[in-house]
Amino acid sequence: MDSLALMRSFRRVVELGSFARAADDLALSAAGLSKQVRQLEARLGTVLLQRTTRRMSLTDGGRLYYAECCRLLDEIDALEQRMRAGSERVDGLLRINAPLSFGLCVLSPLLSRFLAAHPHLRLDLALDDRVVDLVGEGFDVAVRLRSELEDSSLVARRLGQVEQLLCAAPSYLQRHGEPRTPQELCGHALLGYSLSQSPRAWQLQGADGASEFTLPAPRVAANNSLLLRDLLVDGHGVGSLPAFVAAPAIAAGRLRELLPRHRQPPRHVHAVYATGRLLPAKVRAFVDFLGDELPAALAADC
């Protein structure tokens, strides 16, 4: 039996002055409780209690041990209470990783409300399109947009999905014509997202099912959707953009959606964080906030 449990049993015997009363209080048998005290004495190598059929008294060593036992147990109880209280308090530093375009277009308009709701919380945001080593680089939580998450020991909570839109500028389409079938994309200048899980293999889902084909080498490959959007707007080719990047440019007439009946599979938005039985309150607050806010924010762009 662990030392703390034995210490608590011994303390209760002394406080109540009786093995029988302490056993009732601890929901143990008197014989079982007596055995625990003997185990404690054997572990310490000294007698703590003098016991007769009529009375019980502390030895000199027992009085010293009882005083220190109470002090230690009280400190442990106080520490546990502070930790439980702290586990519900949203404060400290929260380190977040998210893709750059998602952070600027989607997270940025939401963060003000999150900060206002948690005035004692500090944020450290790293916007980076690569998949970071969450634990190794010291992040509390990461937002990831992937068609499928890689196998991982991390916990992932799905928060929503982002549609992918094929786009080109009206100026490009005037010069090169508009593709009418997925296969015709191979005859166009393509702009590709280099961090995609399959940058050269595009899958398009339409009424006639899904079709997957390998594209020629892109004219431009980049690891950021905002840069690709600007090149597409300037008429340099055809590319695939997340809806939260493409939709404003389409609404403004700067881009046109292509093959609207043949869309790519959506990317799923996940909050990813380290495993553990107790999720820190700051992480839980952020993930719950995104779970409440993201569906509406993403739906507005579809």
What does the pLDDT read at residue 25? 87
**C-alpha–C-alpha distance, residues 63 and 242, integer Å:** 71
Q: What angle do CA 158, 163, 165 make, to 5 degrees?
A: 155
181-184: long-range contacts (C-beta < 8 A, 24 or more apart)? 181/259, 182/206, 182/211, 182/213, 182/259, 182/262, 183/213
- Using one digit for the tens of pLDDT, what is the confidence trace for 195-219? 776 666 677 776 666 666 666 778 8
Q: Supply the pLDDT for residue 1.
A: 62
Examine the pLDDT at 277 and tell me if it is beyond 60.
no
pTM of the model: 0.68
Q: What is the mean pLDDT of residues 228-239?
A: 95
Element (H, E) at 278: none
Q: At 148, is the pLDDT very low, low, confident or very high (cuts 50, 70, 90)?
A: confident
In the chain, what are the helix, strand and coil shares in percent, each to the nearest 5?
45, 25, 30
Mean pLDDT of the chain: 86
pLDDT for 219 equals: 85
3-class state of residue 299 by DSSP: helix
Query: What percent of the chain stands above pLDDT 70?
Result: 89
Which helix (H) or strand (E) element contains residue 301? none
Among 52, 15, 19, CA closest to 36: 19
Structure confidence by residue, pLDDT tens digits, 48-103: 998 876 788 899 998 899 888 888 888 887 777 767 656 677 888 999 999 999 99
